[in-house]
Amino acid sequence: MPKYHDELDAVLRALADPTRRAVVERLAKSPAVVSELAAPFSMALPSLMQHLRVLENAGLITSQKQGRVRTVSLRPGALDVLHLWLGEQRTPAERHADRLGIHLARTDRKET
């Protein structure tokens, strides 16, 4: 499955940078406009835009422009490929707990 591996390569490479991870961490909370994302970093806007491009090419974020304002969001399921791979490296006892956890999360969602 070369596609799965290429996706993993891109996601891992994109996340192997503290600035890009900080952007993902911020977007995990809610979408944000580019100026908000730039604020915590002492970084020129073009450098931040370059980081955003890497994240977008890795399929981790999407963005939408309305007028002059660009809003950036974490792509739903963006980190699934990494969860999946990490899950495959777990021991049988850990896997059992994972499956139960997923079941309980689904039950939770149906109830709320």
Where along the sequence are the contacts to its own copies (CB under 8 A)? Answer: 5, 8-9, 12-13, 15-18, 21, 24-25, 28, 79, 82-83, 85-86, 88-90, 93-94, 96-98, 100-102, 104-105, 108-109, 112
The smaller minimum CB distance to its own copies, of residues 19 and 63, is found at 19
Least distance from its own copies to the Cβ atom of residue 98, Å: 6
The smaller minimum CB distance to its own copies, of residues 66 and 112, is found at 112
Least distance from its own copies to the Cβ atom of residue 79, Å: 6
Q: Pinpoint the alpha helices (H) of 1-112.
A: 2-15, 18-29, 34-38, 45-57, 80-88, 92-111
Q: Do 97 and 51 touch, CB atoms closer than 8 A? A: no
At 95, which amino acid appears?
R
First to last CA, the chain: 37
